[in-house]
Amino acid sequence: MRSNTNVIRRHKIRCGHDVRLTRNLASAVATAMNLAPGRHLVLAIGAGDETSNGEALETWVSHQLVQLRGLTHQQLLAELMRRLERKLIDLQEFGHE
């Protein structure tokens, strides 16, 4: 069961973003990049308190959307995939930031 603190924090992180869009983009990125279920991405791309890769990806997407205003949904998806691929490559090469 999620604590109210996490729900409130996630809502604040997504201020200015459509929560459904954030979830849909995160799901599309996960599917397109064939990301495995589990928790291995929580510390790498999330805030650290998420319970799954999906939640971590939602947090990461919400942070990216702040910088990506004005793009179409297709452009957002392509850019998010490019950025996540770069992030994961960097993590493999240099370890966690």
**pLDDT confidence bin for 94, thresholds 50/70/90:** confident
Burial class (CB in 10 A: 0-12, 13-18, 19+), 6: middle
Q: Write down the pLDDT at residue 25.
A: 97
Q: Look at residue 6 and tell me whether its pLDDT is greater than 60.
A: no
DSSP secondary structure string, 55-91? Answer: HHHHHHHHHHHTT-TT--HHHHHHHHHHHHHHHHHHH
d(CA 27, CA 31): 6
pLDDT tens-place string over residues 57-82 = 999 999 999 999 899 999 999 999 99
Q: Look at residue 1 and tell me whether its pLDDT is greater than 60.
A: no
Buried b (16+ CB within 10 A) or exposed e, 19-36: eeebbebbebbbeeeebe
